[in-house]
Amino acid sequence: MAPTSPSGSPPPKRTLWDIYKGIAPRHRVILGMGLMAFSMVGIWASEKLEEAYPPPIDNRVARINHSDMPQVIVLKEGTDTSQGVPQLLSNISACLAICDTIRTTLGPRGMDKLIVDSQGRVTISNDGATIMKLLDVVQPAARTLVDIARAQDAEVGDGTTSVVLLAGELLKEVKDYVDEGVSSQTIIKGFRRAADLAINHIKEIAVDTDRSDKAKFRELLEKCAATSMNSKLIGSQKEFFTKMVVDAVMRLDQDELNEDMIGIKKIPGGAMQDSILVDGVAFKKSFSYAGFEQQPKSFDSPKIVCLNVELELKAEKDNAEVRVDKVSEYQAIVDAEWKIIFDKLASIVATGANVVLSRLPIGDLATQYFADRNIFCAGRVSKDDLDRVCEATGCRVQSTTTDLTAKHLGVCERFEECQIGGQRFNVFKGCPGAKTCTIILRGGAEQFIDEVERSLHDSIMVVRRAVKNQTVVAGGGAIEMEVSRYLRETARQIEGKQQLIITAVAKALEVIPRQLCENAGFDTTDFITQLRARHAQDPERYRWYGVDIEEEAVTDLFAKFVWEPALVKTNAIASAIEAACLILSVDETVTSQKSQDPMAGGQPMPGRGRGMPMGGR
């Protein structure tokens, strides 16, 4: 039973105030201090939790003072933004993933990559620029590596894989510094200082070539070409292709060295050794009309005219209308059309030309007309081939047959149409001012010939740069180890964080010899240790020591004629460091939502042939 008062009614309820008044004064002070301490601990814990687990922030809305202010829309709905150190680390990780893709293609023992595009086309290659171009890279920062590979290929031709690996290794070495809070601008400053030191050191130790002795200079060019071919598919036939590449470059205008004047034609079938170099111009036989077989197929000392004129009767345009009152007027129109084309043909024949080439079609009437007069003609010749014919024979492309004279013609020692493999080619030989040539490649599979073409392009660019710059360095990782040693020694004399950054660049340069050893199956740790010891022991004597893949040893690669133009290395280091600086300078990525495809819903868009939509009536 509940307790009751003497009067029999239940006792009154006690409030907190009643309880507080019943506490002794000194106990009240202790209780107040305890409650105050408890509230302070609660406030401190709340602040710490908010710092550790910040509340989610809507990137599209800016709220002011957590009050009931109206929402301010900053970016379009669906826009994705990411910023800060996590975004920077994400960009670095994406670049490292790209580097891992092509890492195994470096060097003479590098592997090939088989890439199938969205159209089902198959490409087999170990060329860094080709692989990077075919990869469908989505990550925005990683596309920077694709750009530097293309730039290296266009500027130098070789070192495309090296520049991507070097950029990735630079980012890998400074990733921990970024994670620890080192400012990106500090790292960028160190990178650029290291780039200046490295490039200047390469220019100081590069070996100048002597062009006075043509035999020695040609030997140097052949060594540079052979070095670029070591890592390619044609490495087993480098002696055959080295002479072909050097001959092709030396036939160009030595002041301009325009690589476009070297034509490369591909004919499936045969072996690589069946490839030939034509001292002049050769191009595939174009489409021909009736009467072509009656034309002569070879000339000695022919006169050549190049045109940009259409030599055939033109059809009337759609809905064309000609109103005549008499039959004689219609006949006059027809006769005028025939007279125009016959006047063109007669003016060409009057020049004494034996070979007529045109970028535009040469119809059956003109073909038979030239055949009756023992003149060879070819229409629809590509612009590149026609330009090279002009360069070789000395003629110029004419856009009209009016006032066409003998001074507009070109000459060569011999012209012939010959059979090469399963195709017929028009060949111009013995051109007097020949500053062009044509390489005709043979091989089994189409993908194989395509890779040979890419390999020859790289070698041609390397030889071209060696002719222009005339300074060479040793390959095989020798120059990278020498520059790495130089940067380590220089970094010891620098104070502050820059010392760490320059040391990181020095370590990143070792990725080239390390990856060469790894791809060849060597003991990477042993080889890198030997290279460091040799270069530190006597920099003058062991300056050109690198990884000898053939002998599986650390040797003097300059004495073994493993040479590369110095421009390949300086351009690779400069491009890699600039790419790394660009990626490190990005602290926020804003990705807009892709626009909706109007055809995604399956509803046809109103247009021609579909009538007006019902809602528009």
Of 495, 466, 399, the closest CA to residue 242 belongs to: 466
The DSSP call for residue 261 is G
- Which letter, b or e, does each residue of 358-379 get, where b requires 16 or more Cβ atoms within 10 Å of its Cβ? bbeebbebbbebbbeeebbbbb
Q: Confirm if 602 and 596 have CB atoms less than 8 A apart.
A: no
> Residue 567's Cα: distance from chain center in Å?
18
CA distances from 79 to 244, 246, 306, 596 (A): 55, 54, 56, 14
- Is residue 421 exposed (0-12), middle (13-18) or buried (19+ Cβ within 10 Å)? middle
Q: Confirm if 92 and 172 have CB atoms less than 8 A apart.
A: yes
The DSSP call for residue 202 is H
Other C-beta atoms within 10 Å of 140: how many? 13
Of 169, 210, 209, the closest CA to residue 191 belongs to: 169
| Alpha-helix runs per DSSP H in 81-183 | 85-102, 128-134, 143-155, 160-179
Residue with tokens 């820059």, as numbered in its chain: 498
Which residues, 6+ apart, have CB-to-CB distance to 224 below 8 Å?
462, 463, 466, 472, 563, 564, 565
Q: Catalytic residue positions?
A: 127, 160-161, 458
User: Which contacts of 380-384 are long-range, i.e. CB under 8 A and separated by 24 or more positions?
Assistant: 380/286, 380/287, 381/283, 381/286, 381/357, 382/283, 383/359, 384/260, 384/263
Of 374, 410, 404, the closest CA to residue 391 belongs to: 410
